[in-house]
Structure 1
């Protein structure tokens, strides 16, 4: 038995658990000397790298909270994050952040050292551990606060749902500033699994690492899944070590998932969570269904309520999904954002879906993104699912724009894999769906704007439409 196993790998550098601990102690000492202590909010803006993991652990060791800022953000967005969170210290590798406040640079060597006295102080489990920012699909993002207690529960839920253990080897290519990236890293470490951390998503590199490292669990969001499915040489990679690929952040696009499984033999495990409740539901490892995000994980309660009357509905009836769980966020910043976040103690996800009598959950769309055509509600994801199945479509997104007659009309933005007429695409939708769900307009774009999580930035498409269209 290896006394000090390797737990983290980055490029050709391997880190044992004791090395991570010593580096954590060293960075904690630096931060402590700068006044970081219990209750301090520390802005952390970093690329995917081992020092990110060390920084999170050092911040937590001091009883402080990590304010995770996307390394892709620009000055205005970072200023917003700092203002909303009230961060008083900073650590990272971003010149954007260092230009706004004094920052401990992760590019500087960290001197390993023994555990400081602060490491022996008990941490207040109800204090903030991490602040992440909501997707911002409708405006400037809110800060989502998680306590040490709520995040620890989420980690335990995720470990059990995915069946992670010391024999697993996972690869993390998703941004660590997103709740899923952080959750994957912390869960794998607490499960004793081996982690390959990648600086950025590169499809060939990711597939090659699966083959060389014998990765057992791969994590994917929609853009990654789409890239895998369309890889021209996918069959040339040996992916037989994979137990499954987890699909998160957005509902599964069945045509994409089926293509990957047909070409590789690897199945999928769809799951469902949010920044506010990191783990809500997950499919069973054996017997996963692509038409459902799974069932509520043990410890999480789910109900569906009517979109208008706010009353619980019967199984099989669509409505807004609401959640109760010990892993739910402490709340939002700014505080006024909490006014509509909960209803009778239930967190309002804003997702529209169906909960059947056996507990299976199917997400249909975001309530705020539903398109109302002549009084009918149209789920963009439903139309997108049909378009994704068309061989000419590389990617797509559907949104609504004001219409004097119908209230809203449906517009489909499409990135093409091959030439196709608008009429052919509209006909494909009408063949599968009710006529009022057909796009009134097809707009060809170079790419669909998405968040790192894979969620479509519909507001960007709407803004672009409003700037360029006069009709």
Structure 2
């Protein structure tokens, strides 16, 4: 009996046995290069089968994967490597190859057959990166047991079975892309990988591959709603589309439903805690992010006292879950993230009497662009490097495509134009960190302590913009 394919990429199909054989072969190569239990291995790869093979091979050797975004520039990669100190590297990206010796994923792998010890649940499995508000990205550390709990939660929330078919268009270095790949493999569901997002490719493969579950962040949802020939595609195989990473834009979701008949499900998670809530799969309440998945507890607390607030009142969202991160690197960033085992999300919202969670604001200053968290201080550090910048502050504003758009407010002490400053950021940081707008101000409002009054600045800039548009 011929084994059914489990993974597709372009015209190539892979069975589980073929992937296991390639994983054994890759593990042997890494072992020969010196990878041992407890090591950390940097992985910087596009979304391709070799990424999956490399990730599994690293884990089977008892090592941890340090996931680097392929959109990062050299300074960002250098920071991540200094923070996590990996001993080895694997990938398909020249930036990583320049930074340290790298096993190229295009190198041939001889399939093998090996047995491996199961990693201890408490051992490190994964480092992903999540920006804070005070500097460069922090490394989020997940153990094998914690990530396995996240996979179990996601599989149950999605009702995922071996009969499901998915395609992955989001980067595997982002927690959502990785979680989708790992959960599909755990459930025995069929998946197709794509190197990048393209709406025509996505729609064509929903129809041709009979995709049952589609993942969508805001740019994907907007592309669907704006597609001039959406009705021409047969999307009847879809059970639902999951809107992740940013709040649902109801008008966009409703337009896709009206034109294509597909239904939506919302979900909520973070790099530090991948699965928090998910909506019901039939008749989702799109103005909420759903209820806590089984095994996850929610608490809404007063920002001032940390005590629970009454049902219906806004407060900071705290979460307790076996899938919570084991901590940050640097370690000193971990203590403030937890209170008695509860993870402080930095999100503000409220629970109703039936357990539905609604998110209303952010208490942290990070900006969320297309699901990626961006630290204002990281961009500010680049802008301060320009001799004509006297002071600056960066903040996010609502954006229907990206969730939030980045605005840089700059006080000048010399001649410089906005294009030069956005270009400076683009040369130093990933493209999603580039300000969509630079505004020039007389001064940056600060407290006596030096802390930027971002909300005051944001309100001032937004008000000035509204006046200009009115004129």
TM-score normalised per structure 2: 0.80
- Provide the residue aligned with 1:414 in structure 2: none
Shift of 1:460: 3.7
Shift of 1:299: 0.2
Count of aligned pairs: 399
Aligned residue for 2:27? 28
Q: What does 1:442-461 correspond to in 2, within 5 Å?
A: 460=435
Q: Is the 8 A contact 2:273 2:325 kept in 1?
A: yes
User: Is the 1:369–1:399 Cα contact (8 Å) retained in structure 2?
Assistant: no
Structure 1 segment 188-337 matched on structure 2, within 5 A: 188-337=184-333
Verify the 8 A CA contact 2:60 2:118 in the aligned structure 1.
no
Query: How far apart in 2 are the matches of 1:93 and 1:22?
Result: 21
From 142, 145, 156, the equivalent of 1:146 is 142
Deviation at 1:3, TM superposition (A): 5.2
Question: Where in structure 1 do 4 or more consecutive aligned residues deviate above 6 Å?
Answer: 398-402
2:70 corresponding residue in structure 1: 71
- Residue 113 of structure 1 and its aligned partner are, at CA, apart by 1.1
Distance across 2 between alignment mates of 1:137 and 1:236: 45
Give yes or no for contact 1:25–1:113 (8 Å, CA) kept in 2.
yes
Is the counterpart of residue 162 in structure 1 residue 152 in structure 2?
no
Query: Alignment partner of 1:287: what SS?
Result: coil
CA contact (8 A) 2:66 2:128 kept: yes
Q: CA deviation at 1:251?
A: 1.4
User: How far apart are the structure 1 equivalents of 2:290 and 2:186?
Assistant: 24
Q: Which moved more, 1:131-140 or 1:15-24?
A: 131-140
Supply the distance in 1 between the matched residues of 2:251 and 2:305 (Cα, whole angstroms).
35
Alpha-carbon distance change, 278 to 167 in structure 1, aligned in 2, over 3 angstroms: same
Query: Contact (CA 8 Å) 1:245, 1:268: kept in 2 or not?
Result: yes
User: 1:401 deviation in Å?
Assistant: 8.8
Q: Does 1:56 align with 2:52?
A: no
- 2:412 is aligned to none
Higher-RCO chain (CA-CA 8 Å, sequence separation at least 6): 2
Q: CA RMSD in A?
A: 2.6
Structure 1 residue 88 corresponds to structure 2 residue 84: no
What TM-score, normalized by structure 1, do the two folds share? 0.80
Q: Distance in 2 between matches of 1:275 and 1:370?
A: 13
Q: Which runs of 5+ in 1 are unaligned?
A: 372-379, 389-393, 403-444
Contiguous gaps of at least 5 residues in structure 2 = 368-394, 410-421, 444-471
Deviation at 1:399, TM superposition (A): 7.7
Shift of 1:370: 9.8
Aligned to 2:391: none
